[in-house]
Chains A and B, each alone.
Chain A
């Protein structure tokens, strides 16, 4: 088996006086989708933000693509090949959709073929290309947020709850887009509360509790074991 694309070892993160991550160990296999699951407030978002560098790890190491990135500034981690879709989507509301996408292309002008592919994946982007991103609906903003991360090829995508609050039609678009991304060979680490989506997309799963990874395995294994789900997360996927 190939070396994981991302490896967290004993990562600890504090936010103000709160000790949020407590020795997180996590491997993200290359070219697959890893779902980061768990109850609210167990440290899933903090884990993603620590990987991209918005929170600095107090202890432990983060290895990406064979390189230690634990102390790298945020922009260097992004340029190393990590795309980030935050929970609040992080779109630039005062910029147009086009301007958001231009910014996302960090290595040069936005590639026309890539843009057309994104239009096919997220048709509303074409419709609202010249509109202020702040005027988009919640689902369209989420599409823009993910499309922005996909504007250039990245080795790893960190995606925080992309389906939160979205209508079923939009969720199916998201799932399809992320499948296409995976088909292109990208690795994805995704926080997701919607178990149906997690089950549909995930190859691997890691479950967090109280700032630690408490279980790792295949998504199929977790999806098929209601008792395990109850024990790890307090409810079963079948309830959803």
Chain B
């Protein structure tokens, strides 16, 4: 016997204004790209800057995606994330330098293979480091934000010093693998090969993360855990184990980001992660805490805006992202696509 109510539920019509308001963050990137075209005027310069901005944004997204999940899932503010960027870069570039013959060969296959090996090594080391970092430094301070900031900053400093002990205190200069050097011309615009690769990697990672989060049970658990961890546990899932997995994955992604950023700059330093963390935090905040999609949009906005402004008014480049964050927080105080409501 059914005990269904007699009423027939239907989808309510969501007003156009509400639908537009929801979609606004998604429109910001294309709007910024069009505004950039109007402001720069020259299409080839605009295309070069756009690809550069997208590449920068994708690399920041790779780093920020793990951090936003770590915050969203367990309410942990991890300033130590920057250390994983630096360690990843040093490990990856060490592999690259050790396999200098492959990197210097004029073979796309060998060059991509050496980059892949560098990335794998960096991700394994930073993933392992993340596991130890969570266990030793983060776990004792769950729920205490001030202590989290203090101990994770402390962990960051210690790891930076360890990098100096292992690799020396000087910055390391190097060249990208042979076939990833230089640029090719497209519609009169010079497009750096490596930046195209960075865009492809970032986009691929974003699509892969979307698939994991939308199509797998572990992805659902993570999304639900970011929103309401208490209820996920009441359903029978051990969120602490999921969190450790996310922390390790986030650390490994920071390592990947470190290698990518190192190859982008062709120089690495122990403090590079710490310096990048300003941009990463801006991305996490404007994207909305716990939101991978928000971090993606935020990272693209940061990358594009910095490149456009650096071309148009170089003196303003440094403040452009702080101005962006201020504007977005005035518009949406919880960021563009917040997932974490209140904890």
Contact = CB atoms under 8 A, between A and B. Distances in A.
- Counting chain A residues whose Cβ lies within 8 A of the other chain, the interface size class is 35 or more
Nearest to B7: A169
B213 to A, nearest CB: 10
A195 interface: no
A169 B14 CA distance: 24
Interface string B1-38: 01111110111101000000000000000000000000
B220 interface: yes
Nearest to A136: B9
A86 B4 CA distance: 23
A86 to B, nearest CB: 7
A121 B2 contact: yes
A90 B228 contact: yes
A158 to B, nearest CB: 9
Contact of B224 (A92, A122, A127): A92
Given A94-B339, A120-B2, A180-B3, A75 B237 contact: yes
A94 B3 contact: no
Contact of B4 (A84, A123, A135): A123
Interface in A97-154: 99-100, 102-104, 106, 120-124, 127-128, 131, 135, 137, 140, 148
Interface string A155-187: 000000000000001101100110110000000
Contacts, number: 93
B4 A92 contact: no
A83 B12 CA distance: 31
B68 to A, nearest CB: 14
Nearest to A120: B2
Contacts of B239: 75
A120 B220 CA distance: 25
A103 B217 contact: yes
B236 interface: yes
A174 to B, nearest CB: 9
A35 interface: no
B236 A106 contact: yes
A78 B5 contact: no
B150 interface: no
A37 interface: no
B3 A177 contact: yes
Nearest to B233: A74
Nearest to A107: B236
B207 interface: no
B237 A99 contact: no
A94 B5 contact: no
Contact of A78 (B14, B223, B235): B235
A95 interface: yes
B231 interface: yes
B220 A99 contact: yes
A84 B234 contact: yes
Nearest to B221: A103
Contacts of B14: 135
B112 interface: no
A142 B11 CA distance: 17
Contact of B220 (A79, A103, A173): A103
B220 A102 contact: yes
B236 A92 contact: no
B230 A103 contact: no
A140 B6 CA distance: 14
Interface of B: 2-7, 9-12, 14, 217, 220-221, 223-224, 227-228, 230-239, 339
10 contacts: A74-B230, A78-B233, A78-B236, A92-B224, A95-B227, A99-B220, A103-B217, A106-B236, A123-B9, A131-B11
Interface of A: 52, 54, 73-75, 78-79, 84, 86, 90-95, 99-100, 102-104, 106, 120-124, 127-128, 131, 135, 137, 140, 148, 169-170, 172-173, 176-177, 179-180
Closest 8 CB pairs of A and B: A176-B3, A78-B236, A90-B231, A106-B236, A74-B233, A124-B9, A169-B5, A92-B224
